[in-house]
Amino acid sequence: MTKTDKLLRELIALPSVNPAFLPAKHPRAGEQRVAEFLAATAAQAGLDVEFQAVSPGRSNLLARLSPRGKVRQRLLLAPHLDTVNATDEQFIPRTRNGRLYGRGACDTKGSVAAMLTALCELAQGRQRPAETEIVFAGLVDEEQGQAGSRALVSRGFTADMAIVGEPTRSQVVTAHKGTLWLCLETHGKSAHGSWPELGRNAVHEMARVVDLLETDYAAQLKRRRHPLLGSATVSVGAICGGSQANIVPDRCSILIDRRTLPGETEAGVRREILQVLRRKRLTVGFAKDPLPPCLPLETDPRLPLVTRFLKTVGQRKPVGVRYFCDASVLGHGGIPSVVFGPGDIAQAHTADEWISLVELERGKGLLLRFLQSFS
């Protein structure tokens, strides 16, 4: 068993479910137990450790490796510590056919294990960086509102490049889509179900809205393409309206997942949706959004550190991914960011989440090689 494999098993066995997905004070909720465990591991390897409070009981973990000489640049390794929820069995790590199964194995405790193991091996070896400070940041709340990465940049943390840990099959990702979760409402007039003509059905109006968004608007977005990310998309994920069968509903709401491309803005998307609906004489309003927007990421692959990382990995061209992550927050906070980690996003959030142990070790090895290049 490798050090990376061992660390990942220990992490899986420590539940760190995002509190948004559990009842208050649930024993599995929160990242603190994982952060404290990783802090002890990092300190034992000689790294300088500190906690950055984000919200009550939730803190980012920062573990630093100082260079031999003066700090001239800083590299950030930034995986997230939280996971989605799971059954009891999924917090018991188990191996089968070269795969390690368990919640977080892929998303994204695999990246945590690979990044921290690489940094600890560097710290304990003879190739300490010459003038580059390397910081491991275990971030909280990526799976919900990205509070951890938002706190990091809002408090003035800077770096010359961030490698954000996500399952990319150990490929360097320089672009990802953004997301807007928008809440739309229609309003009608209530009436008794035996006299529906006296009312105005908000659910019926919303049904027309949903049909238009999923057909005409979706087709319009398909014509808008990015070379690494493909087209923008829209998906209606939830609908709520009415109270009982014999009352004409006077209100209906939907939640929309709108995946955005570089260059698109929140204000522009809102205007565009309203214009599409108004052309069909449909009237909607925007209610309070459930989460803050996550902007798309597009990092220039020609930046020296990005080029260096691509070369280390043996990758000729960068790739893009459809999902969003903390790289967006860090990138728009002034830290050029890429996404990298072992595992496949197809396994994330699944009932049988797993990661290939061969790829886990390969990802750690590529990261270590890159870190050693600063010595």
> Is pLDDT at 354 greater than 90 in this prediction?
yes
Check residue 292 and give its pLDDT: 86
**Domain spans of the chain, in order of start:** 3-176+296-372, 178-286
Candidate CATH numbers 3.40.630.10, 3.90.930.60, 1.10.3720.10, 3.40.720.10; the one for domain 3-176+296-372? 3.40.630.10
Question: Is this prediction's pTM over 0.85?
Answer: yes
More confident position, 261 or 128: 261
Rounded distance between C-alpha atoms, residue 239 and residue 283, angstroms: 17
Torsion over CA: 116, 369, 66, 333 (sign): negative
Poorest-confidence range of 8-17, 199-208, 287-296, 329-338?
287-296
Check residue 333 and give its pLDDT: 96
Is the domain 178-286 a CATH 3.20.20.100 member? no
Average pLDDT over residues 49-65: 97
> Is pLDDT at 14 greater than 90 in this prediction?
yes
Check residue 33 and give its pLDDT: 97
Residue linked to tokens 């979706």: 218
Structure tokens at 112: 């945590």
Phi and psi at 168, nearest 5°, equal -110, 15
Residue 255 · residue 237 · CB < 8 Å = yes
> Is pLDDT at 369 greater than 90 in this prediction?
yes
Q: Which residues pair with 226 in a beta bridge?
A: 230
Residue 186 · residue 233 · CB < 8 Å = no
CA 372 to chain centre: 27
Tens digits of residue pLDDT in 221-251? 999 999 999 999 999 999 999 999 999 999 9
More confident position, 166 or 126: 166
Phi and psi at 345, nearest 5°, equal -60, -20
Tens digits of residue pLDDT in 87-100? 999 999 999 999 99
Check residue 64 and give its pLDDT: 98
Check residue 193 and give its pLDDT: 93
Average pLDDT over residues 5-14: 98
Tens digits of residue pLDDT in 33-47? 999 999 999 999 999
C-alpha distances in Å from residue 158, one per residue of 20, 133, 154, 202, 246: 28, 11, 10, 49, 59
What average pLDDT is seen over the chain? 96
